[in-house]
Amino acid sequence: MNVHKEYMEYKIGVEESSLGEKYGKDDVLIKDPMSLQKKGWSTEIMDIYLEQQNVKLDLVRFRKYLKKAYEKAIISMEKNGEHVS
C-alpha cells in the first residue's frame, strides 16, 4: 500500500482558544501571533500556546476540513487501486 500524506492547515479561531478569555481578544497573542513568531519563539511564548491554551474546536467549521481530508483519502485510495466503500 502506497500512503500519500498531505498537510492540511487548520488555524483555530479566537473563539476556539482559551487564550482570548485569559489575555483578551485584543492582545497580540490573539490578534497577531505571527508577529511574535517573527521575533523568535521564546520558551515563555511556547509555554503559553502549547501548555496553557485549551482549544474547543468549532465542529461546524472543522467539519469542512474533515470532509476535504476524507475526499482526498478516497481519491488517493482509488489511485492506488484500493477498494473504497
DSSP string spanning 51-66?
II--B---HHHHHHHH
Task: Tell me, yes or no, whether 3 lies in a domain.
Answer: no
Domain assignment of residue 80, given as a range: 58-85
Please tell me whether residues 21 and 45 are part of one structural domain.
Answer: yes
Per-residue pLDDT of the chain (85 residues; tens, 9 = 90+): 566 678 899 999 999 999 999 999 999 999 888 888 888 888 999 999 999 999 999 999 999 999 999 999 888 888 877 777 6
- The SS3 of residue 6 is coil
What is the value of pTM for the model shown? Answer: 0.71
64 with 49, same domain: the answer is no
Say if residue 31 is in the same domain as residue 50. Answer: yes
Say how many domains are in the chain.
2
Question: Is residue 41 in a domain?
Answer: yes
